Each structure stands twice: as C-alpha cells, then as structure tokens.
Amino acid sequence: MKRIFAKEHLCIGCRLCEVHCLVQHSKSKRIITAMTREKSHITPRVRVQESGQVTFALQCRHCERPRCLEACMTGAITRDPKTGIILHDADKCVGCWMCLMSCPVGAIQRGREGHVASKCDLCQGLDVPACVENCPNEALVFEERSR
C-alpha cells in the first residue's frame, strides 16, 4: 500500500500541504472560497510540526495494526478491505477521542466540523494526495516502502 512519507530535511514549513488538504476537503474545492468562507468548518488532515529549525508534515500513517481502529468503539474507524487505507466516518463518530489518545504518532485531531475526530484519508479519488502533489520542495512523497 502506498503511504505518505515526510522528508523533514526538505520541509521549509510553508504549510502549503495544510492549505491544499483543506481545499481538497472543502465543499467548493476552490482555494479562495475554501480559505475565506469555509475555513472555519474544515480541518486540514495534515499538520506541520515544528521543533526548532526542523519542520515536517504529520498525517495518518495508515498503520498495519492501527491502534485507532482497535480503540474506536462506534465503528467510525475502519480499514478499506481493497486499499488497506484507514478511514474515518464522521457520521458514526461520537467524539470520545479514544482514537486520538491511542494514535502513537498523534496524527488524529479534533475536527472543526462538530464534535468528531479528523484524520488523513489519502485524498480518496485522487492518484496523488493533495498535500504531496502541492509540496513545492517535494518534502512529501507518496510511495510504497517495504517494512
């Protein structure tokens, strides 16, 4: 399964990955409309982390054995049987935050759209996730790696 990997030595902390993730998950799919009218309702599913001079994009790793899936008591988090992607269904989520607490990398966050969790879905329907496609320094890559 392809996953997103960060190359922190190339990340400049521009946050374009966050912007393009927000736009991809907006209703309009238009950057100006999403950033001005819809921003308060959309949570980017990738976050740029900063520690001194090191920055990198953090998003769901779509783990082989996802602790969030095991912790979710409502069935809101599932694994797509065809792709292996760990998905989140906001309609089933009750905001208990068990997934958030169980994620070892801190990739799940509280969504702005009500009292539900939010996580990367690898931009279902796109060949390359929006954050990867729009990273100006190629600090994010979408590839398959052996473990």
Segments in the chain forming alpha helices (H): 16-24, 31-33, 67-71, 98-102, 130-133
Same domain, 68 and 111: yes
Same domain, 6 and 45: yes
The whole domain housing 80 covers: 62-119
Does 112 or 13 have the greater pLDDT score?
Answer: 13
21-44 mean pLDDT: 90
- The answer to whether 108 touches 100, Cβ cutoff 8 Å, is yes
- As a whole-number percent, the residues of the chain with pLDDT over 90 amount to 84
The residue with tokens 């702005």 is 112
Same domain, 103 and 131: no
Cα separations in angstroms, 118 against 73, 112, 143: 16, 8, 23
Nearest CA among 90, 65, 58 for reference residue 79: 65
pLDDT at 76 > cutoff 80: yes
Give me the pLDDT at residue 47, please.
Answer: 94
Same domain, 52 and 14: yes
- The answer to whether 134 touches 17, Cβ cutoff 8 Å, is yes
Cα separations in angstroms, 132 against 15, 18, 75, 138: 12, 10, 29, 7
The DSSP element (H or E) to which 48 belongs, if any, is strand 47-51
pLDDT at 43 > cutoff 90: no
Same domain, 69 and 47: no
Q: How many domains does the chain have?
A: 2
pLDDT at 4 > cutoff 90: yes
pLDDT tens across 90-146, in order? Answer: 999 999 999 999 999 999 999 887 789 999 999 999 999 999 999 999 999 999 976
Question: pTM surpassing 0.75?
Answer: yes
Instruction: Name the token pair of 116.
Output: 């539900």
Residue 34 sits in a domain whose CATH number is 3.30.70
Q: How confident is the model at residue 82 (pLDDT cuts 50, 70, 90)?
A: very high
Give me the pLDDT at residue 146, please.
Answer: 66
Same domain, 67 and 55: no
64-73 mean pLDDT: 96
Give me the pLDDT at residue 112, please.
Answer: 82
